[in-house]
Structure 1
Amino acid sequence: MKRLFFIIFLPVIAVGAMWSQGQSEGMRKLSLADFAITNLYVDEVDENKLVEDAIRGMLDKLDPHSTYTTVEETREMNEPLQGNFSGVGIQFNMNKDTLYVIQTIVGGPSEKVGILAGDRIIAVNDTTIAGVKMKNTDIMKRLRGESGTVVRVTVLRKGVKEPIEFRIVRDKIPIYSIDASYMADKETGYIRVSRFAVTTDKEFSDAIKELKKKGMKNLIVDLQGNGGGFLTSAIAMADEFLADGQSIVYTEGRRSPRDDAFASKRGQFQKGKLVLLVDESSASASEILSGAIQDWDRGIIVGRRTFGKGLVQRPIPFPDGSMIRLTVARYYTPSGRSIQKPYDKGHEAYERELLDRFNHGELIYTDSIHFPDSLQFQTLKSKRTVYGGGGIMPDIFIPLDTTIYTDFHRDLLAKGVLNQYPVNYLDSHRKELTNKYKKVDQFVEEFAVTDDMLAELLKMGETEKVKYNEEQYRKSKGLIALQIKALIARDMFDTAAYFRVMNPRNPSFVKAMEIINDDLEYNRLLQPKS
């Protein structure tokens, strides 16, 4: 029996050894292990899964941003950054297990066949999606598909007794990275950027042109919650503000020589007051833009210290569509600051770092933030002191306002009540509201959430088993009413309307407006502290 084993085993090892010639010692061991397990292991094995697990295991020993993604994960990750996908062209909410159409994309497939805001889609291609607790991702998979293919949807419409069936031809649907662009006052524009995608540069350039036509002399760029995206888009956006030849960012790594990006002459907003809004979720490309603006004393950064993601990933695709995103370099601001926060304590500690900031008081108290002298840098014009070592520290710190957030408010959100109520209210009052409020400005100025509306919300909360707390309700009442108004505005008009309602209660936005309208304060902030 032993002799037979060696007869079988030795040829296998010999073939494996021949196959691995020319590889490094480490790769020979890895190849031989895979070969031996696949051919000799007692039970059947899934070789693809073994290889994927091995890749993940190797990457886990590196930095937190070197990752492996499957075919499906790669597609889902890239889609928001590509600027479009193929689908039916609706914005929707799930309201009590039913897909509720908030808006149709202008000129999109659903608008063309007559689907309206307020419609409820209950079936897709004869598959019921209402009342079956289907995941949003599963619903989207049924609605999305190749451009030119047909999908049938069954719709319930208020005032129509029988369900209506629509035949929709899928088409390319744009994904916008500019959530809002409007004039905050007669001379100040506001642009909110949610991601840095393929189309962001053109979207941002177009937004600046439109705002300048409306008299814009000053600009607020909102990067709160913007987790980044493409480096090229961040460079292009910085180019709108910086002068010809000024450094924007450079990258450098062990096997990646220094690569510098510089501004050109094309910038549309090289003069005029500029404020960038950031927070602890602003990362990567957001930090590149913020770092360049701060280092050149071009504008004021308002908010809280940014995330600290300054590692450059190179995509390495596999033939099956899966991909490795491997860190090959670091980002540095024009003054030489590294954006990346430390990750030497392991992945778990790295993922917990934002929570640690909160627990240590950094998100609430500015005196809880300390930087060693070794991390001091100077801006390139005014020679102001700025800090490296991870993230961009704002020029004006805005603490996280915890006074208006309560467990009761959180539960209303978690149970979907705060999202469901505006949908239900608009469903019952859409005609009345659209007749009364023709323009978003009129709605923002005149519409008010009444006590009766809040009472209806509380009843809905009881139905959803949200435990009522009088003290917490009073604390969060103003925020709850504001969010209801903002969500109604969004569903009636667009996403920009949501921010028009919410921004006057956003402390970072309020501070930005104060600074922009105070020449002395704006200029003082761009000078070194005495």
Structure 2
Amino acid sequence: MVSMGSKKRRVFAGLVIAMATLVIFIGISSQPRSRAEAQGSDYESIELFTDVMAIIKKSYVEEVDTKKLIYGAINGMLASLDPHSSFMSPETYKEMKIDTKGAFGGLGIEITVKDGVLIVIAPIEDTPAFKAGIKAGDHIFKIDGKFTKDMNINDAVKRMRGPKGTKVVLSIMREGFDKPKDFTLTRDIIQVKSVRYRMLEDGFGYVRIAQFQEKTDDDLVKALKALEDEAKKPLSGLVLDLRNDPGGLLDQAVRVADHFVSEGLIVYTEGREKDAKMQFSARKGAKEPNYPIVILINGGSASASEIVAGALQDHKRAIIMGTQSFGKGSVQTIIPLADESGLRLTTARYFTPNGRSIQAKGITPDIVVERLELPRQSDKKEGFNIRERDLENHFQNGDESEGSTVTDKKDDRKDKQLSTKPEDNLKNDYQVMRALDLLKGWEIFKKIGSSK
């Protein structure tokens, strides 16, 4: 005879299995599977999951919300894949869509996780974090007194976001600190201005792309037009500054590169799904004049900024100057789910036109130029700099023998943050001035050649 309690447990377990199956497979295209496969290890794993969930629901010291358990399980699944796949609650998913438009309330920090520790990839220019002196490579030890060890990125972002004018205290550990230091920051509306520009000298322009957002391409067109109008002639050369640019929208990176590449591939992606295999090529139509370009990169240049640098480098359309870039060569697809939550899933790797994967390696500059600063005692030690290859569960490049360079071994933590807004202090920016010297030398050689 079956007891009523046993019957209820079986009914509950059946409901949980159905729920878990829906959660796991929603939004993901189905694959042909044999009956034996369906009843094999996958089924056993799901059964194990539902058994654990049933035990928690029945025996945990306090009553637990089922949705909270499901969300936690999904977070755990995605965290085991790679550093860039994540689950977004409805609130977080809504914030993500706001982020791509370039305005949100918070501090202005790009963060990642390594070994359970929150680490700053780069502060966004002209934000509370940037002005307070938060630096790339900083370990965020606490947020408002709460330890961040094993805190997921979504929770950390939620704690740092908030209404304009409210304060948050970040406890930062940095190379050279004896103990964590508290930084009190006042939240602001983060208006990430994607493109900034100015004229360096007569005919030589400077364009800074801070992040690839929905309007980056439009803003770039306006910037280039304004520079040409100011010069009252075609530009003699351009410095395209992608330092500390953490990336953003793939389509915007393609459009930016398209202005300077006359024909051929810009980037292509490869993944398991058919839809993940894509090629992006230069479009026909008007292009920027064939003036010389120097692209500046550093350890804070990632993802979309590496796509642009790699494309122009492969097409020999620009000289890449600076230090090794971050090395994020994967593509994340945003998949909306039924309850208005979202899935950020790594679905492909991208490759430069010549077939290079920069995953966990980065773009190697044609000319290595370190950021010039007076050396500090702490700079002689291995710094807290972080790149894609340092992240837990990162994808391998496929050619690890080429993964190390001279610049990889140096501590370039000091070159990841500009001392002030770069367009306001370019004359004191060593890398920008070296880029300008190269462009001017290029112009001189061209004139010498034409006079013969």
Please point out which of 200, 215, 222 is paired with 1:199. Answer: 215
For 1:158-169, what aligned pairs fall within 5 Å after superposition? none
Distance 1:9 1:42 in 2: 21
- Report the counterpart of residue 67 of structure 2 in structure 1: 48
Aligned AA (2:364)? M
Distance 1:205 1:313, change over 3 A: same
Q: Deviations over 1:128-161 (max 9, x none)?
A: xxxxxxx984442889xxxxxxxxxxxxxxxxxx
- Shift of residue 92, structure 1, vs aligned partner: 8.1
Distance 1:137 1:20, change over 3 A: closer
- Report the counterpart of residue 311 of structure 2 in structure 1: 292
- Report the counterpart of residue 357 of structure 1 in structure 2: none
Please point out which of 164, 168, 193 is paired with 1:140. Answer: 164
Please point out which of 401, 423, 428 is paired with 2:372. Answer: 401
Counterpart contact for 1:234–1:285, Cα < 8 Å: yes
Distance 1:137 1:43, change over 3 A: closer
TM-score of the two chains, using structure 1 as the length reference: 0.53
- Shift of residue 173, structure 1, vs aligned partner: 9.7
- Report the counterpart of residue 253 of structure 1 in structure 2: 271
Matched, 1:213 2:229: yes
Please point out which of 164, 176, 181 is paired with 2:193. Answer: 176
Q: Deviations over 1:420-441 (max 9, x none)?
A: xxxxxxxxxxxxxxxxxxxxxx
- Shift of residue 69, structure 1, vs aligned partner: 3.0
Distance 1:405 1:48, change over 3 A: farther
Aligned Cα root-mean-square deviation (Å): 3.5
- Report the counterpart of residue 441 of structure 2 in structure 1: 518
Counterpart contact for 2:422–2:429, Cα < 8 Å: no
Distance 1:268 1:211 in 2: 16
Secondary structure of the structure 2 residue equivalent to 1:59: helix
- Report the counterpart of residue 242 of structure 1 in structure 2: 261
Distance 2:335 2:442 in 1: 49
User: Quick check: which one's helix share is greater?
Assistant: 1
Counterpart contact for 2:371–2:431, Cα < 8 Å: no
- Shift of residue 77, structure 1, vs aligned partner: 3.8
Distance 2:261 2:331 in 1: 23
Q: Deviations over 1:316-372 (max 9, x none)?
A: 23344432211010010000001211xxxxxxxxxxxxxxxxxxxxxxxxxxxxxxx
Counterpart contact for 2:93–2:340, Cα < 8 Å: yes
- Report the counterpart of residue 428 of structure 2 in structure 1: 505
Distance 2:160 2:81 in 1: 33
Matched, 1:339 2:358: yes
Counterpart contact for 1:515–1:521, Cα < 8 Å: no
Distance 1:406 1:80 in 2: 38
Distance 1:254 1:405, change over 3 A: same
Distance 1:75 1:517 in 2: 47
Distance 1:76 1:393 in 2: 34
Q: Deviations over 1:427-458 (max 9, x none)?
A: xxxxxxxxxxxxxxxxxxxxxxxxxxxxxxxx
Aligned AA (1:209)? K
- Shift of residue 397, structure 1, vs aligned partner: 0.3
Counterpart contact for 1:17–1:32, Cα < 8 Å: no
Matched, 1:60 2:79: yes
Aligned AA (1:197)? Q
Counterpart contact for 1:219–1:272, Cα < 8 Å: yes
Matched, 1:12 2:6: no
TM-score of the two chains, using structure 2 as the length reference: 0.61
Distance 1:404 1:19 in 2: 59
Distance 1:83 1:296, change over 3 A: same
Q: Deviations over 1:437-484 (max 9, x none)?
A: xxxxxxxxxxxxxxxxxxxxxxxxxxxxxxxxxxxxxxxxxxxxx96x
Counterpart contact for 2:310–2:363, Cα < 8 Å: yes
- Shift of residue 229, structure 1, vs aligned partner: 0.1
Most deviating of 255-264 and 217-226 = 255-264
Q: Deviations over 1:288-324 (max 9, x none)?
A: 0000000000010010010000111111233444322
- Shift of residue 41, structure 1, vs aligned partner: 4.7
Which of these two proteins has the greater Rg computed from alpha carbons?
1
Distance 1:82 1:92 in 2: 16
Matched, 1:327 2:250: no
- Shift of residue 16, structure 1, vs aligned partner: 2.7
Counterpart contact for 1:241–1:267, Cα < 8 Å: no
Distance 1:72 1:203, change over 3 A: same
Counterpart contact for 1:20–1:32, Cα < 8 Å: no
Counterpart contact for 1:189–1:211, Cα < 8 Å: yes
Distance 1:48 1:140, change over 3 A: farther
Distance 1:522 1:306 in 2: 30
Structure 1: gaps spanning 5 or more residues:
98-134, 144-171, 342-389, 408-481, 487-497, 524-530
- Shift of residue 404, structure 1, vs aligned partner: 5.3
Counterpart contact for 1:516–1:522, Cα < 8 Å: no
- Shift of residue 521, structure 1, vs aligned partner: 9.2
Counterpart contact for 2:105–2:163, Cα < 8 Å: no
Distance 1:255 1:185, change over 3 A: same
- Report the counterpart of residue 266 of structure 1 in structure 2: 285
- Shift of residue 81, structure 1, vs aligned partner: 1.7
Greater relative contact order (CA < 8 Å, ≥ 6 in sequence): 2
Counterpart contact for 2:127–2:190, Cα < 8 Å: no
Secondary structure of the structure 2 residue equivalent to 1:214: helix
Distance 1:501 1:199, change over 3 A: closer
Aligned AA (1:265)? K
Structure 2: gaps spanning 5 or more residues:
22-37, 107-125, 133-158, 168-188, 379-417, 447-452
- Shift of residue 14, structure 1, vs aligned partner: 4.5
Aligned AA (1:140)? K
Distance 2:444 2:267 in 1: 28
For 1:408-447, what aligned pairs fall within 5 Å after superposition? none
Matched, 1:392 2:409: no
